[in-house]
Structure 1
Amino acid sequence: MISTESIRRLPRWTTSFGPQIVLALVLGVVLGTAADALGGDPETDPNWLMTALDTIGSSYVSLLKAAVVPLIVTAVISSIANLREVSDAARLAWKTLLWFGITALIAVLVGLALGLVVQPGAGTGAAAPAESYSGTQGSWLAFLTGLVPANFLGLQVSSTVVDAETVRTAVNFNVLQVLVVSAAVGIAALKVGPAAEPFLAVVRSALAIVQKVVWWIIRLAPLGTLGLIGRAVFEYGWTSMGGLLAFVATVYAGLLVVAFVVYPVLVRAHGLSVRQYFSGVWPAVQLGFVSRSSVGAMPLTQRVTERSLGVPRAYASFAVPLGATTKMDGCAAVYPAIAALFVAQFYGIDLDVTHYVLIALVSVLGSAATAGTTGATVMLTLTLSTLGLPLDGVGLLLAVDPIVDMGRTALNVAGQALVPTLVAQREGILDRELYDAPRTGDPFAPEAPETAAAPGTGAPEAPADPLGAPAGGR
């Protein structure tokens, strides 16, 4: 029998989240390559290893998606209500939105610059799609009408005719509509005042329960990573990129420039340590990379923003959920800028200054269209339709979308933690002692209770960090 003492002597890397994710990435690539070598078609005739990896990856994503709606509803209502605890709440809110726009504008300018310099769509040799893109074509009218909830929960029902006797019906949530409904309820509760306290108490309790469930799901991230990466390797593979390789490389170059040049400059300009910022936000960035969902990573993003970066909880619980649905430097700034230029270059269409201004405007104002979900097809169609570019380009880029989406979402998450940190620093409410503290704990460590139990009362002590570090933070 293994004793508790022997478990505690295990090397830290065996139980730390970061090394587990890295190991899962490596194993995923190896198993994905092995699945591809075994033969078979991922769509029509998958082999047993393909099926296993696909089941693991899709099941993990399904778990994340299942928690999205209750998480958004409870988090947004609670976050808006928490503004009562923050002095100058209106000032913080508009400054947060202002910095969302500023960082998005910088990111889209980086994307435009790289797209013009690299010319990823020029001379690719890739064949144009035989058929026009048949998906939803984004437009400003569709986006604005999509804001109006069809029902309280933002439910959408779609039916697909499989054959003469079978009709498949699916129920989906419009995340953007859920956000609108939740924001309206939160503002109403804020205006009602003391009479809304019983309702808000229930919502806060529900949020705590939902977050606990989400923590359990997040702890499965290494297993989900293995399946998701393995699936991407055997289904898309590097060889399938062909002429799109330059596009993928350009997108990742833009993401890296924003993450490791623009963000550090902003952090240093506010008198903060770049190293502390990256070490604090890194666990959430890792989860965003593998899950491809800003909303799915939101609980961890909020936790590291509070406990590692020192942003006050009352403000972080407002800014991070808002950012998880509207702050998309990867999906809604760098990516659509480069993708629009790629499509124009691919079809030999010349763009002028007006087109570049439209790209920037769409990227800064239309980022809410991505709604924190995986993928940025809606944002891309919105950009292309606004510019009048062929929507065939959407179908052309879908083949490599899962590969670039991982990097896009990682940048989204980094930006969603960055803006609250910068605003808190500018307003003088950032806990610098916590921000500058050594990163000895773990973002998954249970939080210590607000009030410690008195000695001898028999009350339970604060739970210890399961990884061996003291449970601290906020």
Structure 2
Amino acid sequence: MTDDNFDHRKLSNRILFGMGLGLVFGVLINLTVADQAWAQSFLIDGLLGVVGEIFVRFLSMLVVPLVFVSLITGVSALSDPKKLGRVGGKAVALYMLTTGIAISLALAAAVIVKPGVGASPEQTVEREISVQPSFGEVLTDMVPRNPVEAMANGDMLPIIVFAVLIGLSIALAGKPGERVGQFFADFNVVVMRLVGFVMLLAPYGVFALIASLGATTGLSTFFGVLKYVLLVLFILVLHATVTYSLLLRTLTGLSPRIFFSKMRAVLAFAFSTASSGATIPVTLKTVEHRLGADNKVASFTVPLGATINMDGTAIMQGIAAGFIAQYFAVDLSVTQYLMIVVMVIIASVGAAGVPGVGLILLAGVLAQVGLPAEGIALILGVDRLLDMTRTAVNVTGDAMVTVVVADSEGELDRSLFNEKDGR
């Protein structure tokens, strides 16, 4: 255990070093040769783009087998199926609570700071917005017509439902179930080893992703909506450091400082990929092997959180709705603000943990309160940076809820959680 912690600490430092070096390298490219054809084709789209895309694909490759196998292993190991209901109920309640706090913070900040008053962005990009399914459709789609199709499409809620049913069936099937359960337990060990291999590539993948971002993002992009950007970033950081810390300390008595210290690698992954789904393998490995949550809990709460926990997205939507309303000089009533809160919480259920999903959800929120969807174009140019930051907030919430639920069920190794890096 000592060697594993030490290796993980070194890997975390390498990932952070790769992120910093990538940012410096990307900015240098941006300031010197970004406008030259050879740099765009060979460096940005070529070397950096290919390495970054390969790394993201490696992570995405792991998501479905890891969630499916790990969840089956965790559920089938439950001696009391009622325990799954308690774990699920606690997780969903906490995820909805944190999302409600996040959107409330965001709307309060938008009303007090008024980021849209006096804003004059030059962004006129048009974006085709997909239609967000209704809440009833989300509930219906949770049950897969074809589990293989759901896995091929990466639809997490149907995969979770199918895996839970398989796990319960294994737990209740006696001797045959024990044999099948042992197969999945062994398979889970193999998949986690594969996660370890992919994590060795992380410093290089993170370097490429951040360097590509730094090389293609101009500072002028942020000037028109700087007040909006700074406000969203401030509330995201406030929610992650204050709300999560208070909940963790109040509900478990554990140290938020240790929690955030051990989450460094996960935050770097989430920030670089801007995808909660792609970060699942890293989140799951961290909450189990460094924070001490048992697989029986973590295998359920982490993929569930990547699907329904959208605190960062909720913050962006709340501030963006206020920003767009103020930009177009539309006064929102208290009822409309409450409608935004309800819409954001409901819309977060079933939303894919992929880059850019927040803008799709935002279109539905704007429509419900009568704001023009064209307002999304005002914030489109800066959304990539905010998307990366809110994804880091989302995965932090996934891990915090997992630790809280595991502790409440007696499935948290507190000595492992409190063990310092390098010991």
Matched-pair contact (CA < 8 Å) for 1:288–1:406: yes
Rounded to whole Å, the distance in 2 between the matches of 1:115 and 1:74 is 42
The verdict on how the C-alpha distance between 1:58 and 1:89 changes in structure 2, with shifts beyond 3 A counting, is closer
Say which structure is richer in helix.
2
- 1:75 maps to amino acid: S
Residue type of the alignment partner of 1:299: P
1:74 matched to which residue of 2?
69
Give the corresponding residue for 1:165: none
Is 1:138 aligned to residue 132 of structure 2?
A: yes
1:308 corresponds to which of 290, 313, 318: 290
CA distance in 2, matches of 1:239, 1:114: 25
Alignment of 1:396-415 (within 5 A): 396-415=378-397
> What is the aligned partner in structure 2 of residue 246 from structure 1?
227
Residue from 55, 58, 72 that aligns with 2:53: 58
Partner SS for 2:291: coil
Which residue does 2:274 correspond to in 1? 292
How far the C-alpha of 1:438 sits from its partner, in A, is: 2.3
Q: Which residue of 1 aligns with 2:184?
A: 203
Equivalent residues in 2 for 1:318-467, closer than 5 Å: 318-331=300-313, 333-376=314-357, 377-440=359-422
Task: Determine the C-alpha separation between the residues in 2 that align with 1:122 and 1:193.
Answer: 65
Using the TM superposition, name which of 50-59 and 428-437 deviates more: 428-437
2:20 aligns with 26
Amino acid at match of 2:48: L
Please tell me whether the aligned partners of residues 176 and 371 of structure 1 are also in contact (alpha carbons under 8 angstroms). no
Give % identity. 31
Query: Aligned residue for 1:120?
Result: 115
Structure 2 matches for 1:264-275, cutoff 5 A? 264-270=245-251, 271-275=253-257
- What whole-Å deviation, never above 9, does each CA across 1:97-129 have from its counterpart, x for those lacking one? 111111111111111122222222222111463
User: Displacement, 1:257?
Assistant: 0.5
Does residue 129 (structure 1) correspond to residue 124 (structure 2)? The answer is yes
CA RMSD of aligned residues (A): 3.1
Instruction: From the CA coordinates, give the structure whose radius of gyration is larger.
Output: 1
> Judging changes above 3 Å, is the alpha-carbon distance between structure 1 residues 425 and 296 closer, same or farther for their aligned structure 2 residues?
same
Correspondence 1:228 to 2:209 = yes
Cα offset for 1:86? 7.8
Using the alignment, how far apart are the partners of 1:45 and 1:282 within structure 2? Answer: 32
Q: Deviations over 1:369-419 (max 9, x none)?
A: 333223323332332233332222334433222211221111111111111
Q: Which amino acid aligns with 2:407?
A: Q
Gaps of at least 5 residues in structure 2 are none
Q: Secondary structure, in 3 states, of the residue corresponding to 1:154? A: helix
Secondary structure in structure 2 of the residue aligned to 1:424 = helix
CA contact (8 A) 2:119 2:225 kept: yes
Q: 1:342, 1:389 → 2: CA distance?
A: 11
* Cross-structure match for 1:456: none
Q: TM-score, normalised by structure 1?
A: 0.78
Q: Is the counterpart of residue 49 in structure 1 residue 51 in structure 2?
A: no
- Residues 122 and 84 from structure 1, CA distance in 2 versus in 1: closer, same or farther, beyond 3 angstroms? farther
**1:183-223 Cα shifts (integer Å, max 9, x gaps):** 44445545555543444333333333332222222221111
* Distance (whole Å) between structure 2 residues aligned to residue 339 and residue 268 of structure 1: 31
Offset from partner CA, 1:280-303 (integer Å, 9 cap, x none):
333322222222222322233223
Judged with a 3 Å threshold, the aligned counterparts in structure 2 of structure 1 residues 210 and 379 are, in CA distance, closer, same or farther, namely farther
Q: Aligned to 1:290, what secondary structure does the other structure show?
A: helix
**In the alignment, is residue 152 of structure 1 matched against residue 161 of structure 2?**
no
Compute the displacement of 1:239 (Å): 2.4
Alpha-carbon deviations, 1:407-455, whole Å to 9, x = none? Answer: 11111111111112223334454333333222326xxxxxxxxxxxxxx
Post-superposition offset of 1:87: 7.5
> C-alpha displacement at 1:253, in angstroms?
0.7
Aligned length: 414
Residues 426 and 324 of structure 1: CA distance in aligned 2, closer, same or farther (over 3 Å):
same
The 1:184–1:349 alpha-carbon spacing in structure 2 relative to 1, beyond 3 Å, is farther
SS of the equivalent of 1:378 reads: helix
- Mapped contact 2:171–2:178 kept (Cα < 8 A): no
Quote the residue 1:38 is aligned against: 33
Say whether the 8 Å CA contact 1:369–1:378 is kept in structure 2. no
Paired position in structure 2 for 1:263: 244
Q: 2: distance between equivalents of 1:306 and 1:172?
A: 27
Query: Which structure is richer in relative contact order (CA contacts within 8 A, separation 6 or more)?
Result: 2
